[in-house]
Structure 1
Amino acid sequence: MNGARVAGVLLALALALGAPGTAGAATSGSLNVTLTARTEQALKARGVTVRTSGGASRSGRSVTLALAAGDAKALRTTGSLRLRTKHRTVSLGSPRLELGSNPRVTALLGGRRTTLLTLAVAPDVSASGVQLPRTSATLTAAAAKTIAGRLRVSKLPRTSFVTVAATASFSGAAAPPPVQQPGVAPNGPCRTTTGGAAVEPGAGEPPVKARPAGARTITSATVTWRVRESFIQYIASGEGTSTARGASGEPPEVAGGSEAPLVYSFHFPFAEGWCDPASGAARIAFTGTVGFRYADHEIDLRANDPEVELDGTSSRVIFRMTGSGSTDGANARAVVETLDVSKAGGVFTGADAKSFAYERIPAAVPPGAATSVFAGYYLPGDPFGWVSISFTTE
């Protein structure tokens, strides 16, 4: 999870979020962000392309985003963007239009909420909705530098980067707060979880993690699954990896002592999820398939529909495993790897306590799982890559 074009699209997405509203009110409308002709040419020259997901669509130079519920402080969408060049990717998660005296567009960039765009004209906000006539937006110096640096492209244009227009309406008064029943978990903001030594997953297919009372709904999420480099290189000696059902691979790269560029990291479309304010636990489900095939070694294995469970020492990743021959996967859900959240490269919470990100959580073959999916290739407890995940709650 492109430099120039990515920046433009990202900015557009973020701007599309611009529609403040009454807290708790239903929100309808859309935000339209259009790359200027100059920006489009600059992105194309740098080999940058943009992919959208969630409630975002693109036609030509224009990106349209459906609006999610907002309040007087910010308006957000459920979409996300990945800016790509041939060999590099930058993800912009959970774009949000910040309101108030300094209206601007922000998104999760590298796990941190970052200001992407500033607006030439502030939105007209009222109790009934928001109107933003088409106005130009400037890419901030910090965002331009970060995006260009990560994509390894030349300096991006900043002024008149995109034009933005938005229309939003708010209907319905805020619902009264629910009556808290004895024993029900608090329905407040979510929080991050901490981790330590992995717990054995146990025998048999794992149950779907139960949603606690008071858990908040996750409205958007992104995930990167990085597979152990030696395993990817081993599979590449055969037919290699493949993706299907919306999953996608990062551009090939040289890693782990191999001279051949290979795909090591994969993304999956968000399906649904929740997080628990009381414990910090979360379950985030995705769709899509990554296949591993080495016919001469009788390997034809497919990992489907990942479920990331974040819950202290019980954090883990579950896939539905399918395949054929000696690796048929049994069409069953299985704990493929455990996650040590305590050793994540970074754990971040947005200022609004609604956006969260865990960067490069170390993954390992489950302990005590001698018959687990990859235990035939590695010992229980051996490292098996990492997972990065970000999500936004209602």
Structure 2
Amino acid sequence: MIDIKFLRENPEIVKENIRKKFQDEKLPLVDEAIRLDAEKRKAQMESEQLKAARNKLSKANGPLFGQLKKCEDEAKKAEIQAQIDANNAAVKADDERRAQLEAAQTEAAAKLQEIMYVIPNIIDPSVPIGPDDSCNVEVERFGEPVVPDFEVPHHVDIMATFDGIDKDAAGRVAGMGFYYLLGDIARLHEAVLAYARDFMIDEKGFTYVIPPFMMHGNVVKGVMSFPEMEAMMYKIEGEDLYLIGTSEHTMIGRFIDQILPEAQLPLTLTSYSPCFRKEVGSHGLEERGVYRIHQFEKQEMIVVCKPEESMIWYDKLWRNSVELFRNMEIPVRQLECCSGDLADLKVKSCDIEAWSPRQQKYFEVCSCSNLGDAQARRLGIRVKGADGKTYLAHTLNNTCVAPPRMLIAFLENHLQKDGTVTIPKCLQPYMGGKEVLVPKHK
């Protein structure tokens, strides 16, 4: 959400940003926001003027009551009383008018807020312009993609050789979009999470957090755009509670309506959580595999920082993901998201994609985003500087690792011709010292 003052003073910049995001249907909202803002401010100004006049009239009645009490001349008393009555009538009229103005102000403010929630954040000048993810731009590759001299099976088939997955039973229990992981595959899933946790704590110095897995509706509106909310969030029936789609939601929500001392910044946090997603929209569920599902677990990175530091942290965050994947000997690339692929709150975003030997192409495993002050503005997250003045914080998030997708990349890249799966050194302590996983059948 952008600053209304910025929109008021720079409507053409806001409109050009909307065009860059290929959301021309939102262009009329800029003028409507300016109209509602003017209406709200006019009502507020008139209300304040009436309040001042009311106070002046009420104050004027004080001496008049004193005069009335002392006055013995009936004609003069009648004159004073008439003045008091006139003042009271004016005060009443002012109160009635103020009530109307406050109602108009409240209505205009509510409509304005809804529009401001829809107008996209101003993207960074470095963001490539394009309508959708087909225009995302490869920036850099890390590690050499390998094309093996044997056919790599689908990841579910690889898991099945270890008796490591049961989607049929999950379908009977919960429907499509769920799975049971078993044995070595389940242990590998947890090993990846544990290693990612320790990597972020011990090597990157982040503070580990386990957050709430549900949140109130006002936090949902504060951390994400409405289209994202509709496509992702599960609501608890009869409660003002939603299941989180990522721990970023409650990690950022933790600071709602807070003023953070500048000396405490940056806050660098890494969090574990299960994630729950409806996956409504163009992508939908993956019927067979575990790439896009309703429930998964994830290790996340969160940063709350000063505005001038947010782009520095953006680069650090996505590089953390690259380092983590390279430690696990998985080739990856950084893909810069174009303007049309950015969610409305994002200033800049990139995906880290892992190499798939089976498909011989890259696929998304991490997403890093700089949201500028958009979430902080919605949630009221402010920073108090050394001079005593407050300003909005900047927030960033990045996937550290989401094991379902990581497992796909891991199994495909570490699968050997004989069906075994090698374990890189960084994961061996979390796998009971195993260097190789041996399938139970082929």
User: Could you tell me the TM-score, scaled by structure 2's length?
Assistant: 0.21
Greater strand fraction, Structure 1 or Structure 2: 1
Greater helix fraction, Structure 1 or Structure 2: 2
Larger Rg over CA atoms: 2
Could you say which structure has the greater relative contact order, defined with CA pairs below 8 angstroms and 6 or more residues apart?
A: 2
User: Could you tell me the TM-score, scaled by structure 1's length?
Assistant: 0.22
